[in-house]
Amino acid sequence: MSEPPSSHGSFEDLPQAKIERNWKTYAIWIAPIIAAGLAAWFIYSNVVQGGPTIHIYFDNAAGLQQGNSLLKYRGTQIGEVKEIKLTKDHGQVEVAVSLDASGAGIAREGSRFWIVKPEVGAEEIRGLRTIVSGDYITVDPGNGKPQTRFQGLAEAPVVAPPETLRIVLFAERVGSLKKLSPVFYRGIQVGEVFNVDLGHKSQAIDITVDIRRHYAPLVRMNSKFWNAGGIHANISLSGLNIGAQSAETLISGGIDFATPDTTEKQAPPGTAFRLYDKPDDAWLGMSPVIELDQTHSAALLPANTAK
């Protein structure tokens, strides 16, 4: 049985809606898609690529800048300072550092952190880049269990670089010696002072010295060290002779040493020597034959002279 015709006519007679799609239809989705993409990127960079956040406590964090200062290891950025604030008791400064994934391994017990600042010496200026880029934090990694809170050091720890021989000199007084004071052998600088401090019993001055690895064979168990800083005066038949090791030692002090002969073995790291105020005349005439690494010496020459 057929349906009766509608009084308003058939469906075909009704107007049909026309749907058109243009760029405005899709434009409203661009902002949400971009926001979702940025959120995914932040999650990936901070969770997947990022490392943990560690907290380092310093007595003084002068020079560090929140959101700008870096944590570096071997000259490579491995983290960034995210927050700097006083502790609740106002006794220290808490520095929160967000680690990169590559630096996550340093968040371990035994790691030591300190702030690198420019150091001015008579021979050179260390950390010159920090004048432009700002102070930064560096680390001597530990190998203990995972840890996120550390006590920062006031200065760099006494850690011997692998390319140096570290020895200790003890003296009754420090004189003009200080960090970066040069160490000479027959007038050639072969090392420098790393640190000057009181001995553990406060009865002598401990002077930590780094001898460059190339010159390490010069230091024997019978070597003699003396203070080369200041002005030396000698009275002889020819009159009064006044002199100094160099203009550099007048400013920052210096150390000189000599080795009597090669009958004694080479000094191992950590060997302690007495630092004399002045040399005996016999020490100044010492000139033993001591072989150095000629390969290293050749590497220091210009390309057109090295053989």
Cα 233 to chain centroid, rounded = 40
Domain check: are 174 and 200 in the same one? yes
Question: How sure is the predictor about 35, in pLDDT bands with cuts at 50, 70 and 90?
Answer: confident
According to the model, what pLDDT value does residue 262 have?
Answer: 84
In terms of domains, do 98 and 199 share one?
no
**113 closest CA partner among 65, 150, 79, 143:** 150
Kindly state whether residue 268 falls inside one of the protein's structural domains.
yes
71 backbone dihedrals φ, ψ, rounded to 5°: -105, 125
DSSP state of 220: B
β-strand 188-198 against 93-100: which pairing, if any? unpaired
User: pLDDT for 128-178, tens place per residue?
Assistant: 454 445 789 999 999 999 999 999 999 887 666 778 899 999 998 887 888
Is 143 in contact with 174 (CB distance < 8 Å)?
Answer: no
- Residues paired with 224 in a beta bridge: 258
Residues 169 and 277 in one domain: yes
Based on the fold, state whether residues 168 and 289 are members of the same structural domain.
yes
Q: How far apart, in Å, are the Cα atoms of 237 and each of 38, 234, 244, 278, 286?
A: 86, 10, 20, 20, 24
Residue with tokens 């190339």: 214
Q: What percent of the chain has pLDDT over 90?
A: 43
Please list the residues that pair with 182 across neighbouring strands: 192
Q: What's the number of domains the chain is made of? A: 2
If asked whether residues 143 and 57 sit together in one domain, one would say yes
43-74 b/e with 16+ CB inside 10 Å = b? eeeeeeebbeebebbbeebeebeeeebbbbbe
* Domain finish residue from 95, 128, 151: 151
Summarised one tens digit per residue, pLDDT across range 57-72 is 999 998 899 989 999 9
Tell whether 115 and 205 lie within a shared domain.
no
Q: Which residues contact 269 (CB under 8 A, 6 or more apart)?
A: 160, 165, 166, 167
pLDDT in tens, 151-162: 999 988 766 677
- Examine the domain organization and report whether 184 and 268 are in the same domain: yes
50 SS3 class:
strand
- The two beta strands, 182-185 and 188-198, are antiparallel
Note whether 144 and 184 are same-domain residues: no
The string of pLDDT tens digits covering residues 249-279 is: 444 579 999 999 888 999 999 999 999 998 9
Q: Give domain status of residue 129, yes or no.
A: yes
Residue type, 307: K
CA distance 97 to 85: 12
Distance CA 257, CA 160 (A): 20
C-alpha atoms less than 13 angstroms from C-alpha of 302 in its C-beta half-sphere: 2
Structural domain of 94: 48-151
Inter-residue contact 220 to 213 (CB < 8 Å): no
Tokens of 181: 């004071």
